[in-house]
């Protein structure tokens, strides 16, 4: 399926790389930064592999200028990064910390000097711990705090930021952070996760409204991690399980954002499992559906689902399966399926006909090592990126309005509960020395950008 794709993307297509604050910055106690839920989580013994924390990470807070040269040398026109909320509002509300604002101002200004459009994510999971102590995302008040923080950033950088993203992957925060407890804040409570998902969406809408009120006009959107959900077998039970699971991961977010309502089937399922959904107030859905300008899509791997067998433990009635035997997988065991990526994008276009799309993350974990000649060869990552970039080209051919693609990630970084054990970067980070070594995939990406398509 990889032949016959156009070797050029549309003029003006934006190529980029992505990072997030907690994963790269370090400097957690500097310049007035407050504690975040990821500081608290990673410092709790047993929650992150190897006891790793983001205390130092890639030391990007000090090495940002050097890192920016690496981005510029890629030739990209887009850099997606996030602002650490606790650097701006260390206590979650109150007076903004100017030193935090200054850091991002320097970064944005330097990007613009290089002709790189800054895409700023306001919330990439590092909620101020003070807000967690006040109830976190399950508490409605957190939505108002987010809108206030967003407004601070709009006023500080709104004249220069080219794209705003409210949240990164609310499903991960709600489901993995509040239902399974594998990410911060480590809560295991389905009702809490439902409340969290609603307040994340509500706060997105409130921030969009706050942005419109400023009169600024850069595109504003949200980033969702969407799963192309594939039934394990062709049987009817697995097909139904896949639809239900799609409601859980995808439609619970897409429908309110683009249709102003939660999907009926998922609503019914969630009430059966979690009890009455009684925390939605009149007007909330209208706020959530406030028109936005683009949707950011993060894609890594399809989600293979089958119906749970009788007696098999499953809260919702489905089970997420391992890749099919013989399927291509990354070093982390995630199935590699570029066709699923095309299918997802085409489905978004068909079912939602939403706003223009940007791929805000896509990439692969590889067991990278420094070779005896000092270089890092990552052919599997190149093959992954090549396949998924071609998948984007096929989606564009099919009519999808896709405007940009960001590889995850610029450099290896703190991979949440996996700590530093998983490498996603096109630049290798030697953590003991903080030396950056561009991998062969970095050169590949340079060639993609230069050719405006697969080289």
Q: Which residues here bind ligand FCB, judged by CB under 6 A?
A: 20, 23, 168-169, 172, 225, 298, 361, 408, 415-416, 424
Of residues 170 and 231, the one with the C-beta less far from ligand FCB: 170
Minimum distance, C-beta of residue 271 to ligand FCB, in the bound complex (Å): 28
Cβ-based neighbours of 243, under 8 Å, separated by 6 or more:
229, 265
Classify the phi-psi angles of 215: left when phi > 0, otherwise alpha if psi is within -120 to 50, otherwise beta: left
In the set 97, 335, 361, 415, the catalytic residue is: 361
- Residue 256, classed as helix, strand or coil, is helix
8 A C-beta contact, residue 58 and residue 70: no
Minimum distance, C-beta of residue 286 to ligand FCB, in the bound complex (Å): 28
**Is 35 annotated in the active site?**
no
**Is 240 annotated in the active site?**
no
CA-CA distance, 388 to 302, in Å (whole number)? 12
Q: How far is CA 68 from CA 43, 110, 284, in A?
A: 29, 8, 40
CA-CA distance, 126 to 279, in Å (whole number)? 24
Of residues 87 and 124, the one with the C-beta less far from ligand FCB: 124
Of residues 9 and 125, the one with the C-beta less far from ligand FCB: 125
In the set 25, 169, 335, 415, the catalytic residue is: 169
CA-CA distance, 186 to 171, in Å (whole number)? 14
Of residues 19 and 129, the one with the C-beta less far from ligand FCB: 19
Minimum distance, C-beta of residue 166 to ligand FCB, in the bound complex (Å): 14
CA-CA distance, 187 to 191, in Å (whole number)? 10
Task: Encode burial over 45-65: b for 16+ CB neighbours within 10 A, e otherwise.
Answer: eebbeeebbbebbbbbbebbe
8 A C-beta contact, residue 358 and residue 345: no
Rounded to the nearest 5°, which phi and psi values hold at 95?
A: -80, 130
Minimum distance, C-beta of residue 211 to ligand FCB, in the bound complex (Å): 22
Minimum distance, C-beta of residue 150 to ligand FCB, in the bound complex (Å): 19
Of residues 255 and 412, the one with the C-beta less far from ligand FCB: 412
Active site residues: 169, 361
């Amino acid at each position: 399926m990889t032949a016959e794709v156009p070797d050029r993307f549309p003029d003006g297509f934006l190529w980029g790389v992505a990072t997030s604050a907690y994963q790269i910055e370090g400097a957690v106690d500097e310049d007035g930064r407050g504690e975040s839920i990821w500081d608290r989580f990673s410092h709790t013994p047993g929650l992150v592999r190897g006891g790793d924390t983001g205390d130092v990470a890639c030391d990007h807070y000090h090495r940002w200028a050097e890192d920016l040269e690496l981005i510029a040398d890629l030739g990209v026109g887009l850099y997606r990064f996030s602002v650490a909320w606790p650097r701006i509002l260390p206590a979650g509300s109150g007076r903004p910390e100017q030193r935090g604002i200054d850091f991002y101002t320097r970064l944005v200004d330097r990007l613009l000097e290089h002709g790189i459009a800054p895409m700023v994510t306001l919330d990439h999971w590092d909620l101020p711990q003070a807000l967690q102590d006040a109830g976190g995302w399950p508490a409605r008040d957190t939505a108002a705090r987010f809108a206030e923080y967003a407004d601070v950033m709009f006023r500080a950088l709104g004249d220069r930021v080219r794209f705003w993203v409210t949240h990164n992957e609310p499903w991960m925060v709600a489901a993995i952070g509040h239902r399974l407890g594998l990410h911060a804040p480590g809560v295991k409570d389905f009702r809490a996760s439902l409340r969290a998902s609603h307040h994340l969406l509500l706060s997105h809408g409130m921030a969009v409204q706050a942005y419109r009120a400023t009169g600024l006009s850069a595109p504003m959107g949200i980033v969702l991690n969407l799963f192309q959900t594939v039934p394990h077998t062709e049987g009817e039970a697995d097909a139904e399980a896949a639809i239900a699971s799609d409601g859980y991961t995808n439609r619970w977010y897409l429908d309110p954002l683009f249709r102003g309502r939660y999907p009926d089937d998922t609503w019914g399922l969630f009430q059966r499992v979690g009890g009455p959904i009684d925390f939605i107030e009149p007007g909330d859905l209208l706020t959530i559906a406030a028109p936005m300008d683009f949707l950011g899509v993060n894609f890594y791997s399809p989600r293979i689902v089958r119906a749970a067998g009788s007696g098999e433990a499953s809260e919702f009635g489905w089970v997420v399966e391992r890749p099919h035997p013989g399927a291509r997988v990354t070093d982390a065991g995630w199935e590699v399926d570029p066709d699923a990526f095309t299918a997802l994008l085409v489905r978004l276009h068909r079912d939602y006909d939403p706003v223009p799309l940007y791929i805000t993350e896509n990439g692969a974990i590889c067991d990278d090592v420094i070779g005896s000649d000092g270089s890092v060869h990552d052919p599997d990552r190149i093959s992954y990126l090549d396949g998924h970039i071609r998948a984007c080209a096929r989606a564009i051919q099919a009519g999808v309005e896709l405007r940009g693609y960001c590889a995850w990630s610029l450099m290896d970084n703190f991979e949440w509960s996996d700590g530093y054990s998983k490498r996603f970067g096109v630049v290798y980070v030697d953590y003991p020395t903080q030396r950056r070594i561009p991998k062969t995939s970095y050169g590949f990406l340079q060639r993609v950008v230069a050719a405006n398509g697969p080289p």
